[in-house]
Amino acid sequence: MSQLRKDPFGPTWVVFSPEIGLETSDFDSVNRTSDSSILAPGNEIFLDKEIYALRPNGSKKNQPNWKIRVIENPDGILEARELKVHENLMFNYATNSGYQEIIIEHPEPKMAIEDMPLEHLVEVLKVYRDRIDKLSNKSGIRHIQLTRNVGKEAGSRYEHPHAQVLAVGVRNRWLSEEMTAAKAYYEKNHSCLFCDVIETELLSKERLISANENFVAISPYAAKTPFETWILPRRHDSNFSSIKSTSLKDLACLLKDIIRAINNSLNHPPYNLMLHTLPIKDENRYHWHIELLPRLTKKSGFDWSSGFYVNPTPPEDATRFLKEALALQGVGL
């Protein structure tokens, strides 16, 4: 039985799931072909816990002929049941309550997100929004995480384009730390930390990679990894599920441009894309955003032991590099 345990020394929760063991993946096959993905059309019989699918008229559930498909994660370690937290002096734990879903973003196993037609990517973002909204309304949910892991080194099990959604009743360390910083800043300055960062970067342009009417892409001031990139809405909003459909095209355009620039200039590195959002409205303090982390370096013993991140590429240098890549794509500020 899986269990969540709270680290008594910090705000970290650890999921213990001994029953899952070691897993195989699409990457284990040397001679895999373009149709080898278990997530591809034709394999619906094996993944028949369909939650939602964007289908042409007449297409049936758990059958091929879909454009985007959402399923329960077949390797999920959380269960849809009431969260129970057990507290004592030092060792707190909780039941493995929550939801795990996979959003299969395109029928084609090799379709990269930057190569998707713009209209299709907009539909993918709509599904992101709608699934986050649905899960936010589940009882007891306090944290929702959407991630895209691209490449084996980034932790991806599948080559097929997909995102994973996790909804749980406890908050992870990173969101807790961001919320603590945002709350402290708001109480001192009576303004949103994220909004003020956006305003500063728009004025200085020192770490501003690209921008359009509704979104900005920046290299964060204290980037943890080389070429770490954040995409943020220019208008304050704490919850991604409240994004307007009219803004999704701008988000899709910027996302495609940034990922293509990273891939073209850094030789298609593995990367993690993480959507940070709240499951509830928090108008004043938090600000949803996307964090994109190319996996170009590995943590050393110094990193692990000291708690420091060692980044060989200052964000100002990364910004200039990506701006040049965008210019070659015909994209500018």
Reported as a single tens digit per residue, the pLDDT across 88-107 is 767 776 666 789 999 999 99
- Amino acid 95: pLDDT: 66
**Residue 88 located in a structural domain:** no
- Amino acid 182: pLDDT: 93
- Amino acid 106: pLDDT: 97
**Residue 193 located in a structural domain:** yes
pTM of the model: 0.88
Angle at 277 between CA 273 and CA 279, to 5 degrees: 135
**266 pLDDT above the threshold of 70:** yes
Whether residue 177 contacts residue 11, with contact meaning beta carbons closer than 8 Å, is answered with yes
Residue with more model confidence, 94 or 223: 223
Helix (H/G/I), strand (E/B), else coil: 289: strand
pLDDT band at 157 (very low <50, low <70, confident <90, very high): confident
**9 pLDDT above the threshold of 80:** no
Q: Which of 58, 64, 21 is nearest to 42 (CA)?
A: 64
Q: Which of 29-33, 146-150, 231-235 is predicted least confidently?
A: 29-33
> What mean pLDDT comes out for the span 227-234?
98
> What mean pLDDT comes out for the span 221-245?
94
Tokens of 244: 């307007």
Q: What is the total count of domains within the chain?
A: 1
**27 pLDDT above the threshold of 50:** no
**143 pLDDT above the threshold of 80:** yes
**Residue 50 located in a structural domain:** no
**Residue 55 located in a structural domain:** no
Backbone angles phi, psi at 25, to 5 degrees: -155, 175
**Residue 67 located in a structural domain:** no
d(CA 39, CA 42): 9
Residue with tokens 């937290």: 85
- Amino acid 288: pLDDT: 96
pLDDT band at 30 (very low <50, low <70, confident <90, very high): very low
pLDDT digits (tens, 9 = 90+) for 303-326: 666 667 788 999 999 999 999 999
- Amino acid 302: pLDDT: 60
CATH number at 182 reads 3.30.428.10
- Amino acid 261: pLDDT: 96
**Residue 294 located in a structural domain:** yes
**2 pLDDT above the threshold of 90:** no
Q: Which of 92-96, 126-130, 160-164 is predicted least confidently?
A: 92-96
> What mean pLDDT comes out for the span 27-37?
44
State the virtual CA torsion across 146, 148, 154, 157 in degrees, nearest 10: 100
Q: Residue 109 is part of which domain span?
A: 23-38+98-333
**Residue 143 located in a structural domain:** yes
> What mean pLDDT comes out for the span 52-67?
91
Helix (H/G/I), strand (E/B), else coil: 24: coil
**Residue 18 located in a structural domain:** no
**251 pLDDT above the threshold of 70:** yes
